[in-house]
Chain A
Amino acid sequence: MNNPTVKDKASNAADKRRVTLAQLLVYELRVRDAMHKDPVTAQPSDSLRAIQHLMKKHRISGVPITENGRLLGVISIEDIINALDKGYINDPCDKWMTRDPVTLRDHYTLVRAVAEFDRHGFGRFPVLDACEQLTGIITRGDISNALVHHLEARAEQAVAHEAVLVAERQADEKAHRVVLRTPIKSGDFESAGKVSQRMRETLRQRGIDPEARRRAAIVAYEAETNIIIHSIGGELRVVIEPERVVIDAMDQGPGIERLDLAMQEGWSTAGPLARQLGFGAGMGLPNMKKSADHFEVRTELGIGTHLHAEIVLKKAELNPGTTAS
């Protein structure tokens, strides 16, 4: 691998991420997150001349006309030009305003707002809240600004996150082989599942595909409970390597009398306590065999049982844009 290729890949990935994020944001963000709050408004009795001055002073091109917070209409810069042209600039504005203008609600998503801009071709929309009160005004520029603002924040988070990931991966590579060894006591139902839980946690941190993770968990759990239920005590050893999990369960006896029967579904020698707790379905060994990619049992009466299983791991599919070179 040479450096330029890695760089190109990384920047392509970053481009992809940026597009997806912007698309995501227009669904996440609401009109109220992007709009101008407390817009400049005028009263119905105000003259068009007064509104012309308002527009000049605030450098805006449209003024909502309200009464007690309720939106009555809108005067645009076009209305002012017409008034100057035709000589009625001193009329009260309610005579010439556009009544019942199209509005947006403050809870609309930005994607809906963009659609409304496209549909009507207006430069701005008054925004109403749930109580029908004018609460803001929004332009296409406000939407772009809000997106840029949020993208910046997300980008900063992403950079910080990436640094953490790199540090984690380096730590991982140093210790890519994890060995978990646990002694297991006969009849200790309370502890069942502890080793498999630790194994699952490690596999999850390594980004192993959930399906392989589940299969490994089933094998470890059944092996662990087998020792608890059937043996006089033993040990479970789980070795987690980058490409596979190796599980060895060894006990000190008594050994399995009829291994051929034990490998059949539904055959069990579990005692009443184990059965009461939901064990002893007679599916332990068959489950393990089905879940493992490689499975072996060696047993000798009076000596003990050694169960060996291997599960091949593959990494979970990563989302585009988050793949490293």
Chain B
Amino acid sequence: MTIKDLIGCLQAELLTGSADTQVCGCYAGDLLSDVLASAKPDVLWITIQVHRNVVSVASMKDISTVLITRGRKLDSQTIAEAEQSGVTVLSTPLSSYEAAGKLWETGLR
């Protein structure tokens, strides 16, 4: 599935990266070590964390897309780092729970 197909239902804003980014599956979590341990490559990662370590963890695990929830935004330096690492970042006003529900409904498993 591409990000393009998900942006609408998440009311999301594309902070950096391409709407053509592919995601296969999803992982939700705010604990970085948990994501490092369990997330699969090329998933969409739902988190409320906006610290620059989010980008480090995402690129380390080859996570293609990060979805920041509750309308939080990354600072410009972190966005620049995400862009450099090829990580797509979205921001949604929804909570992590709501976002996960919407994504589940689209068939992203």
Contacts and interface: CB of A to CB of B under 8 A. Distances in A.
Interface of A: 189-190, 192-193, 196-197, 200, 210, 214, 217-218, 221-222, 225, 277-284, 286-287, 290
B37 A217 contact: no
B60 A278 contact: no
A284 B34 CA distance: 9
B53 A200 contact: no
Interface string B31-42: 111101100010
B56 A278 contact: no
Contact of A277 (B34, B37, B51, B59): B51
A281 B34 contact: yes
Q: Is the interface of B mostly helix, strand, loop or mixed?
A: helix
A99 to B, nearest CB: 43
Contacts of A286: 37
Contacts of A221: 36, 56-57, 60
Interface of B: 30-34, 36-37, 41, 47, 49, 51-54, 56-57, 59-62
Q: Name the residue in A190, A193, A218, A280 with the highest tally of chain B Cβ atoms < 10 Å from its Cβ.
A: A193
Contact of B60 (A190, A200, A277): A200
Contacts of B54: 278
B31 A278 contact: yes
A287 B56 contact: no
Contacts of B61: 214, 217-218
Given A217-B60, A279-B31, 6 more contacts: A189-B51, A193-B53, A278-B53, A283-B31, A283-B36, A283-B37
